[in-house]
């Protein structure tokens, strides 16, 4: 049963410095609950990891923050604003599985889509739009692939295209849904270096992942989710054997390596 909405006023939520504020959010689909009373505040200029097993509500939470999915109850604010007035502050990369990579468009076309929210009614790109796209292509090492059809790209290149499109929006907050899933360690490291650079420029990133190896050195905080908030704190305080087992349950075997834990998934997610 959904609880009556009662806005929280704790310091963790009532925070003027927060880039993302989520307060007592309940959400789901066709009567099935995906999120249960989730609250957290992501500080500005931080990388926050959003972790949990498949089906834990990570993608639903991102869509609620974006305004793509209306919660049953609860409240979301972006940089102190309601979602309706903050959409241009948000950039988003979906999971690659949700994209039609056979659609006949080029890499440059996809990145230009990130400018659509800023174009006029005729949607004709200006010189400024083309300059922004060129910078994003260069930053993601895609300049040489600008005229390549997206269906010809590798998995790592596809991820970079989606991130370049999000950056073309010139957002203050980036929401990234499993940007490193299925990539090898070298490409993951390149992306995390990029994310750290964006954080250092003042951007706030919320990165959904179920890969524990990404958290230790790069994330400032981790939100551990399994429909409800299991924990939210610094990575070392969240990625403990007890809390990880509570969140992942039978989907995870923890392998201790030194003072850290690495995961081995098993069963069906």
pLDDT digits (tens, 9 = 90+) for 47-67: 999 999 888 999 999 999 999
pTM score: 0.86
CA dist., res. 65 & res. 87, Å (int) = 10
Please tell me the predicted confidence (pLDDT) of residue 15: 55
- Cβ proximity of 243 and 230 under 8 Å: yes
Mind listing the pLDDT tens digit for each residue in 189-240? 888 999 999 999 999 999 998 777 766 678 999 999 999 999 999 999 998 8
Token output for 234: 């610094």
Assigned CATH topology for domain 18-265: Rossmann fold (3.40.50)
Output the DSSP codes for 104-154: S-BHHHHHHGGGGGGS-TT----HHHHHHHHHHHHHTT-GGGTTSBGGG--
Answer whether 34's CB lies under 8 Å from 58's CB.
Answer: no
State the distance between the two ends of the chain, measured CA to CA, in whole angstroms.
25
pLDDT at 118: 77
pLDDT at 129 over 90: yes
Confidence of residue 262 (pLDDT cuts 50, 70, 90): very low
Token representation of residue 142:
């895609």
Give the mean pLDDT of the chain.
86
Helix, strand, or coil (residue 57): coil
Q: What is the domain partition of the chain in residue ranges? A: 18-265
Residues in a beta bridge with 261: 256
| Range of lowest pLDDT (177-186, 247-256, 258-267) | 258-267
- Whether residue 8 is predicted with pLDDT greater than 70 in this model: the reply is no
Question: What's the confidence (pLDDT) of residue 42?
Answer: 97
């Amino acid at each position: 049963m959904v609880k009556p909405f009662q806005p929280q006023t704790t310091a963790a939520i009532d925070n003027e410095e927060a880039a993302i504020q989520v307060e007592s959010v309940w959400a789901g689909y066709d009567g099935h609950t995906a999120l249960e009373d989730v609250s957290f505040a992501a500080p500005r200029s931080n990388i926050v990891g959003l972790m949990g097993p498949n089906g834990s509500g990570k993608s639903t939470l991102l869509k609620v923050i974006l305004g793509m999915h209306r919660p049953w109850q609860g409240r979301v604010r972006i940089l102190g604003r309601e979602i309706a007035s903050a959409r241009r502050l948000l950039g988003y990369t979906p999971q690659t599985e949700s994209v039609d990579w056979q659609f006949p468009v080029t890499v440059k076309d996809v990145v230009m889509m990130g400018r659509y929210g800023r174009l006029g009614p005729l949607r004709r790109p200006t010189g400024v739009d083309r300059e922004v796209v060129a910078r994003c292509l260069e930053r993601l090492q895609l300049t040489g692939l600008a005229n390549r059809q997206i269906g010809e790209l590798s998995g790592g290149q596809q991820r970079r295209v989606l991130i370049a499109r999000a950056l073309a929006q010139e957002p203050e907050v980036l929401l990234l849904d499993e940007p490193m899933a299925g990539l090898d360690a070298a490409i993951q490291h390149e992306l995390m270096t990029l994310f750290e650079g964006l954080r250092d420029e003042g951007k706030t990133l919320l990165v959904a992942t179920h890969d524990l190896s990404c958290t230790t050195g790069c994330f400032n905080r981790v939100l551990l989710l399994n429909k409800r908030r299991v924990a939210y704190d610094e990575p070392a305080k969240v990625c403990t054997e007890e809390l990880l087992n509570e969140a992942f349950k039978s989907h995870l075997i923890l392998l201790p390596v030194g003072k850290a834990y690495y995961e081995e998934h098993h069963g069906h997610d």
